[in-house]
């Protein structure tokens, strides 16, 4: 699926990839049958490829988190579905050798480190949670941080290495969490063992789950999320062949914002990194405008261009007010930027 290398675009819709997926025996048989019934080669090819990859990859059990307890010095993936890649999260520091999933379409976008993660990491380091500690280089030391949609754990690893008191990294995908556990074992095993880094399965769209998470792990000083907004469902031959899967892949900003309202209660700061694909930044800004009476922007939205190219990323930095206000300042900053 990823024959173009780890830097290939996220849409995964190129015809050469679809054709490559359809070369297996099951795909050929499904393609012939679909071609006879649908009468269209592109649609039949997409349907066959989708059916084959989902049947092949999704039927196997996800990697277990305790499988991640291998040697941190090993350069080999610990699972056939995983691969290793050097990811530069901070421009002036050496890259981290991180494990990622090979099959983004089958296993979900969370198994890959996306550029928005590096943009948010740079912003978090430069801004910090404790401005008085910026000079000593420890702006996150002693903080309690919650990450929503941690994926394979790149940002959670950085936060743990920045001496946060507690980092709770959550994701709705067991496959992504298994990768996060493996990467944490590679780069900050002591944080896993002493409980400073905790991995939890959870969906921010579930209000009940958010309340339980807050009761069990909160309160937090900060809530962070990178590349967690996809306002419009993905399109293209692969996704058109499975509309239900495309709809499930969409992640509008409203549920995410409501989750942060619950999880960041008590004045916690919220940092959202939103990649601009098809109006994702505008949708997030509009959702914040709709909640302008409850939101306090701590800085204007900041656009960052990823170092390796790709979609620009906008950082939204705010907190939820204890009591509703006028909201004029929020309107001015969002509209002006």
Q: How far is CA 98 from the centre of its chain?
A: 15
Q: What is the DSSP letter of 170?
A: E
pLDDT tens sequence for the chain (337 residues): 344 444 445 444 443 443 344 444 444 455 455 444 444 444 444 444 444 433 433 333 434 444 443 333 444 446 788 999 999 999 999 999 999 998 887 788 888 999 999 999 999 999 887 655 555 667 899 999 999 999 999 999 999 999 999 999 999 999 999 999 999 999 999 999 999 999 999 999 999 999 999 999 989 999 999 999 998 877 777 777 777 777 777 899 999 999 999 999 889 999 999 999 889 999 999 999 999 999 999 999 999 999 888 899 999 999 999 887 766 666 666 666 6
Q: What is the DSSP letter of 230?
A: B
What kind and span of H or E run contains 48?
A: helix 41-57
199 near 153, Cβ under 8 Å? yes
Other CB atoms within a 10 A radius of the CB of residue 190 amount to 10
Q: How far is CA 241 from the centre of its chain?
A: 24
Residue 246 sits at the vertex; the CA angle it makes with 88 and 280, to the nearest 5 degrees, is: 55
Three-class secondary structure of residue 173 per DSSP: coil
Task: Give the closest residue to 128 by CA, choosing from 337, 271, 273.
Answer: 271
Length of the chain (residues) = 337
CA dihedral over 45, 46, 48, 53, signed as positive or negative? positive
In whole angstroms, give the CA distance from residue 97 to residue 183.
9
In whole angstroms, give the CA distance from residue 191 to residue 200.
15
Structure tokens at 243: 């509309």
């Amino acid at each position: 699926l990823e024959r173009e290398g780890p830097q290939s675009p996220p849409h995964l819709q190129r015809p050469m990839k679809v054709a490559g997926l359809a070369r297996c025996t099951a795909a050929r048989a499904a393609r012939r049958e679909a071609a006879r019934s649908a009468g269209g080669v592109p649609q039949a090819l997409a349907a066959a490829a989708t059916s084959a990859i989902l049947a092949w990859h999704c039927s196997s059990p996800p990697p277990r988190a305790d499988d991640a307890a291998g040697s941190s010095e090993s350069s080999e993936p610990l699972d056939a579905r995983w691969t290793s890649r050097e990811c530069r999260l901070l421009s002036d520091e050496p890259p981290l050798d991180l494990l990622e999933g090979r099959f983004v379409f089958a296993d979900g976008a969370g198994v890959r480190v996306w550029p928005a993660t590096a943009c948010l990491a740079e912003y978090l380091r430069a801004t910090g949670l404790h401005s008085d500690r910026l000079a000593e280089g420890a702006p996150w030391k002693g903080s309690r941080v919650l990450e929503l949609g941690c994926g394979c754990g790149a940002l959670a690893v950085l936060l743990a290495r920045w001496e946060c008191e507690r980092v709770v990294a959550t994701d709705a995908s067991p496959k992504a969490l298994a990768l996060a556990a493996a990467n944490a074992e590679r780069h900050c095993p002591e944080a896993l063992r002493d409980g400073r880094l905790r991995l939890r399965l959870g969906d921010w769209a579930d209000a009940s789950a958010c309340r339980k998470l807050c009761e069990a792990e909160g309160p937090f000083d900060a809530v962070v999320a990178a590349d967690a907004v996809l306002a419009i469902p993905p399109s293209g031959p692969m996704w058109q062949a499975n509309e239900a899967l495309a709809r499930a892949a969409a992640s509008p900003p409203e549920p995410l914002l409501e989750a942060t309202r619950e999880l960041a209660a008590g004045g916690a700061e919220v940092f959202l990194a939103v990649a601009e694909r098809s109006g994702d930044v505008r949708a997030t800004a509009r959702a914040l405008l709709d909640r302008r009476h409850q939101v306090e922007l701590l800085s204007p939205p900041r656009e960052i261009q990823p170092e390796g190219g790709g979609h620009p990323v906008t950082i939204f930095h705010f907190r939820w007010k204890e009591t509703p206000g006028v909201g004029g300042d929020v309107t001015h900053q969002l509209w002006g930027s």
